[in-house]
Amino acid sequence: MLKLLRIGSIIYLLAYCVSMTQGQTFGASIQAGLVASQIDGDQYAGYNKPGPFVGITGIAKLKEKLDLEVGISYVFRGSQSELFPDNSFPQLKINLQYIDVPLTIHYKDWLEPEQGFYHMDFYAGAYYGRLLSSSAEYSGYDDVVDLFKKNEIGIVVGGAYNFGAHSGIGVKWCRGLNYFFVTGTNGVNQNSLINRFIQFYYQYKF
């Protein structure tokens, strides 16, 4: 947790420096919500693995409708064979915990003139993920989770609706661009694996 706070402080400071250098407005937000994730290659389809996530974000206003955001979040990801597992027989499960650092460009629309905020927020960008913890059950990968790659690069596409100047809800779709396990690693003949997940969240802006 201490490491998480340190990284968050660094990102917050970097975003602040960028905004001050360009003479732009700076802000921040917190996000928390639910992740629905799956893993391509595990032989199961569907975003069946739920989990929580929480994060903080630094915001630099580039233009009237254009923002740059950089953040850090703690995300529970992975895969399981069913959304509501039947515990009467073994269920595949892969548990992954990541720290994600997204960098996104945001376009805002639907101005509320009296309060000075935009209702709609559309964005896209990339993220860096660092695997902190992993485990697996009945997956074929149970004994090789130590071979999972620690670093991940991925893409982000999302949107949010703001109720007011401070609060809103949103959803973002994320997909890794590199496999976190590659078939044949250390002679292990299992499918290559790549992450895919959706985040549903509430956010509060300062």
How many angstroms separate the CA atoms of 182 and 99, rounded?
Answer: 21
Tell me the pLDDT band of 9, cut-offs 50, 70 and 90: low
64 compared with 14, residue with greater pLDDT: 64
- pLDDT tens-place string over residues 159-194: 999 999 999 999 999 999 999 999 999 999 999 999
Q: What is the 3-state secondary structure (H, E, C) of 6-23?
A: HHHHHHHHHHHHHHHHCC
How many angstroms separate the CA atoms of 193 and 131, rounded?
Answer: 14
Q: Residue 4 is inside which H or E element, if any?
A: helix 2-21
Task: Please compute, for residue 13, the number of CA atoms within 13 A of its CA located in the half-sphere on the CB side.
Answer: 6
Q: What is the mean pLDDT of residues 13-35?
A: 70
Q: Find how far residue 26's CA is from the centre of its chain.
A: 22
CATH of the domain at 37: 2.40.160.20
Q: What is the mean pLDDT of residues 10-27?
A: 57
How many angstroms separate the CA atoms of 144 and 69, rounded?
Answer: 36
Number of domains in the chain: 1
Q: In this predicted structure, what is the pLDDT of residue 16?
A: 54
Q: Residue 142 is inside which H or E element, if any?
A: none
Q: In this predicted structure, what is the pLDDT of residue 19?
A: 47
**Range of 116's domain?**
2-205
Tell me the pLDDT band of 13, cut-offs 50, 70 and 90: low
Query: DSSP of 97-126, one letter per residue?
Result: EEEEEEEEEEEEEEEETTTTEEEEEEEEEE
